[in-house]
A and B are shown apart, each in its own frame.
Chain A
Amino acid sequence: MALFAIGLSLILVAGVVTAVGRSAAADRAYAVLCAAGCLVAGASPVAVLLGRAVPAVRFGTRLPGGDWVIAIDALSAVFVIAILGVGAAGAVFGVQYLANDRGSARRGLRVGVSHCLFAVLVVALALVVTAQAVMPFLCAWEVMAVTAYLLIMFDDEDVEVRRAGLLYLISTHTGTLALFGMFAVWTAKSADWTFGALATAAPALGGAAAIVLGLGLVGFGVKAGLVPVHFWLPPAHAAAPSHVSALMSGVVIKVGIYGLLRIALLMGRSIPAMWGWVVLSIGVVSAVLGVLWALAQHDLKRLLAYHSVENIGIILMGAGVGALGTAYGRVEIAVIGYAGAIMHTVNHALFKSLLFFGAGAVYRLTGTRDMERLGGIVRRMPATWFAFLIGSVAIIGVPPLNGFVSEWVVYQSFFRAGTESGALRLAVLGAPGLALVGGLALACFAKVGGVVFLGTPRDEQSTASGEAPRMLLGPMMVLTVACVAIGVAPGLLLDPALVVAASLGDATSLGTPAVREVMTGATRVGFLAVAVIALGIIVWLVRRALLRGRAVRTAETWSCGFTMTTPRMQYTASSFVAPLLDTFAPLSGVRTQVAESHFETHPVDLVLDGLVRPTWMWIRTTASRARLIQLGRLHVYILYIIITLLVVLTYLGMTVRP
């Protein structure tokens, strides 16, 4: 625990250095200190996952809410590691990403403040997932929410950024309100406000458990970005600087998942089966709609943000089956489902940060995030494309990378539920849902890779000015290596995930044949990944040997005899996905304009534009009717007071007997 505290302090020191230092050298010192702090602080959670107990820290306070307890258990540990890993990579990436702004006199100061806030956000996140009492949890939660808001607002000259920030701020506080409600109901039954006491009180909740879980689902669901409360997420993640988007998509929204898993853990065996079904259904809906809406996007970062909604859905599918396993007393299914959720949480943190870094590099070097204007930048940015391709293969969940490993475990929980009898086996229906998500995600990343990186530039102004500098590529390469490593050696992630899952479910489940089969399967998956990569290299070499000495020429792309092709004739981001979106209309969230020689699509958010805004406008117009009595003149208000007094006095005179 001491290392954890020292590490977090180092991160905060790094933040102060960059805010006070106001120079490029200070920023570099910040990056080094921040990375070092993450490394040091990471020692404690790693020790926990290796089975060593780390003592809890308890601060006695006289404040309302009782003692503050900070402790790292298995569930906290896995989230802390993800936070620190993405945090370190993001800090390094961010220094280079904002380097141009640092040079400018007007925005230099803002860069230092932004880096400092980034450090504070990382520390707040680490505290959210290690707090073991209500008060420190909510305090860290609030610091996290507000810091993230300030980080999003980096480019606040842009009206879109201000709007996105405000939407985020309102949404996150609505969520926090639900959390207040949840803890209020729960602490009413418990001895004190520590999580331990909440767990003891869980069976006593009775009917109130449904209220607690419902409020928790809303509160944590807003943070996680579940459909239908996801609508703040795409604008906010698109508006923030890319390293902040990576941190937000990679770990900040995962804190919502952490919250859901934490309340499931505290509820223990008294969790109702209904919770599992609700979580599983929301997971399927979020995943399918998230990826479908991602397809419609033209803004690279918004597209990635919608994919976060999708992946959160996949995580919830695993968590839902986990809760169902617990509720129906099938411990091995519970542990496999939860392990899948945990693994996908970590994997998503890795590949989504990688993809956001890639998108950030593209934005920095081309000046646009509009896919319709990009194309062919692989010529200037081959290394960025390599990293982005690895991230794409990982996120669509195909072998040989880490995305497949975790989706495979989630599938296992579905298939295993299918072999059960009774209601539990209906959970098997999640499998075709996940398959649909996989197919659509493949289509979406084929579009991103093909339209942004491959082909020829669609717009002369939007060609890349060169390869991304090393400090942008470095963090990307580290994440790339992590994605490949977990793909070829799934045990690296599966073993700790099973430890965490056992803490959520039942420790005895680890020895069951089902769990052992998953572990053997994971080694085979690793073998398969190695085999595919090795076979690929062999076939590549054979192909090269075959072509050596033969006539290999270059020519123009064959266009069926037509010779006047232009870049504008290529398929675009809109046209590539048009058949899919047509098929899924009206769910696909896109407004299409077709004219004689013109076709364009405009993505709309069905919830935000179709539900939230109209509702809000209705409230506003209805409320404005009440403004008839507000005339804005003092003597009218005095008249109101006199009338009110008269009415009250008359009422009292008629009812109160002396």
Chain B
Amino acid sequence: MGTESSFQALGTQLGALALILVIAPLVPGIAARTRAFLTGRRGSPVVQLYRDLWKHARKGAVYSTTTTPMFRLAPVAVLVTAVAATLMFPFDGRGAAVSFTGDAVALIYLLGLGRFLLVLGALDTGSSFEGMGASREVTFSSFVEPGLFLCLIVLTVVTGQLTLSGMLGPQLALRWSSAAPALLMIGASLFVLLLAENARVPVDDPNTHLELTMIHEVMVLDHGGPDLAMILYAAALKLALFAALVVAVLVPRSMVTPGAALGILVGGIVLVAVAVGIVESAIARLRLQKVPLFIAAGSALGAFGLILVLS
């Protein structure tokens, strides 16, 4: 490949990345709108999150006297790690802005860094509510991570590739005919992990206003103004990233043009968001003690997939 065409490829990748960064706030909006529609309400407009972000970004802030710079660092870290994680995702079905062997590990662990600092920010307030949220967040995410890695190793074993772009690239398309059952299983597993990692029903409810029952939302009770805007945007971006992962596993896109691949991805993300909305309107939150079982069951799908491809 000549320098010119690799520059062109990088241009496409950065363009795709920019598009995802712009449309990310739509994803929670679509899920919420679907949920409202199915439960017989009109609901807020799909673009509500843009309005909220704009509103929060223009506000001042109120900080608790208990807090330290840690509390102010947390939103910055969450935003930066979420954006950095997207650098490694092949949105156009070809390659990512940053790609290297084991980049999937970096992606997941970057989100881990954001989570770690967000949890410390929550504990910085000295509030029992935020302590509760922090405790639940670290508990459930400890179960999500092994599940994600099970899915990743299925992709590695199936495709023989070590980069995320490789795992979701041409090899995946070639192997779909022979490894379809395993790939469907990890697609389903990733969807379950998406619900858990992004604080959606049945693990958490983004709409509830009863703090005691929440996980993610209660951790950020004390954040306001631009800080809250950063957290909300990062959460939307993370949801979009997970949705993109589900789509990329289920729909191989390497044989179409980069533009079409990106189109398929965006369409798929919308469908995943609708599916999240359907799940949220169909079932209720689980009891907290049941959540680890739910995540374990989701991860078990990945484990079954692994057994299929290893045997």
Contact = CB atoms under 8 A, between A and B. Distances in A.
B64 A555 contact: yes
Given A436-B146, A521-B100, A532-B110, A449 B156 contact: no
B126 A376 contact: yes
Given A408-B105, A428-B153, A556-B64, A532 B81 contact: yes
Interface string B147-176: 111101100110011100000000000000
A418 interface: yes
Interface in A427-456: 428-429, 431-436, 438-440, 442-443, 445-447, 449-451, 454-456
Interface stretch (A159-167, A474-482, A563-571): A563-571
A432 B153 CA distance: 9
A454 B124 contact: yes
A446 B119 contact: yes
Given A560-B211, A576-B131, A446 B138 contact: yes
A378 interface: yes
B226 interface: yes
A275 B147 CA distance: 28
B142 A443 contact: yes
Interface stretch (B10-18, B33-41, B66-74, B236-244): B66-74
A580 B139 contact: yes
A577 interface: yes
A419 B162 contact: yes
A399 B106 CA distance: 7
Contact of A439 (B100, B122, B141, B221): B141
Given A443-B142, A456-B66, A559-B129, A571 B134 contact: yes
B113 A440 contact: no
Given A399-B113, A451-B123, A439 B144 contact: yes
Interface string B224-252: 01110010000000000000000000000
Interface in A550-564: 550-560
Contact of B128 (A524, A525, A571): A571
A418 B134 contact: no
Interface in B230-282: 230
Contacts of B227: 543
Interface residues of A, number: 88
Contacts of B103: 521, 524
A531 B80 CA distance: 9
B174 to A, nearest CB: 15
Contacts of A560: 129, 211, 221
A335 to B, nearest CB: 14
Contacts of B105: 407-408, 411
Interface residues of B, number: 84
Interface stretch (B46-54, B55-63, B177-185, B200-208): B55-63
Contact of A443 (B76, B100, B138, B221): B138
Contacts of A231: none
Interface in B88-141: 98-103, 105-106, 108-110, 112-113, 115-116, 119-120, 122-129, 131-132, 134-136, 138-139, 141
A450 B120 contact: yes
B134 A450 contact: yes
A556 B211 contact: no
Given A546-B57, A571-B135, A576-B134, A431 B149 contact: yes
B112 A438 contact: yes
B283 interface: no
Contacts of A580: 138-139, 142
B119 to A, nearest CB: 4
A415 B138 contact: no
Contacts of B211: 560
Contacts of A419: 156-157, 160-162
Which of A431, A454, A517, A539 has most chain B Cβ within 10 Å? Answer: A454
Given A399-B113, A580-B142, A583-B139, A528 B157 contact: no
A404 interface: yes
A557 B136 contact: no
A432 B76 contact: no
Interface string A126-150: 0000000000000000000000000
A559 B145 CA distance: 31
A14 interface: no
B162 A412 contact: yes
B157 A418 contact: yes
Which of A414, A418, A556, A567 has most chain B Cβ within 10 Å? Answer: A418
Contacts of A546: 57, 226
A540 interface: yes
A452 to B, nearest CB: 10
Interface stretch (A70-78, A201-209, A390-398): A390-398
A576 B135 contact: yes
Given A419-B157, A435-B148, A412 B102 contact: yes
A520 interface: yes
A554 B108 CA distance: 35
Contacts of B134: 446, 450, 571, 576
Given A408-B102, A446-B138, A552 B149 contact: no
Given A431-B149, A525-B106, A536-B77, A439 B225 contact: no
B6 interface: no
A412 B118 CA distance: 28
A623 B153 CA distance: 53
A536 B310 contact: no
B119 A570 contact: no
Contact of B310 (A399, A414, A425): A425
B226 A557 contact: no
B150 A559 contact: no
A173 B143 CA distance: 39
Interface in A372-426: 375-376, 378-379, 382, 389, 392-393, 396-400, 404, 407-408, 411-412, 414-416, 418-419, 425-426
B241 to A, nearest CB: 16
Contacts of B136: 579
A340 B66 CA distance: 41
A192 to B, nearest CB: 44
A577 to B, nearest CB: 7
A567 B100 contact: no
A582 interface: yes
A114 to B, nearest CB: 35
B156 A415 contact: yes
B289 A582 contact: yes
A551 B115 CA distance: 28
B83 interface: yes
B65 interface: yes
Contact of B60 (A399, A550, A559): A550
Given A399-B109, A535-B83, A580-B139, A552 B61 contact: yes
A634 interface: no
A575 interface: yes
Which of A393, A435, A554 has most chain B Cβ within 10 Å? Answer: A435
Contact of A454 (B126, B135, B141): B126
A553 B60 contact: yes
Contacts of B125: 455, 557
B141 A442 contact: yes
A528 B84 contact: yes
A43 interface: no
A547 interface: yes
Interface of B: 57, 59-68, 70, 72-73, 75-77, 79-81, 83-84, 87, 98-103, 105-106, 108-110, 112-113, 115-116, 119-120, 122-129, 131-132, 134-136, 138-139, 141-150, 152-153, 156-157, 160-162, 211, 221-222, 225-227, 230, 288-289, 292, 306, 310
Given A407-B105, A411-B102, A531-B87, 6 more contacts: A376-B66, A415-B156, A443-B139, A446-B116, A455-B124, A579-B136
13 contacts: A376-B126, A400-B113, A415-B162, A428-B153, A428-B156, A443-B139, A446-B119, A521-B102, A521-B103, A535-B84, A552-B61, A553-B62, A570-B128
**Top 4 closest A-B pairs, CB basis?**
A571-B131, A450-B123, A439-B142, A443-B138
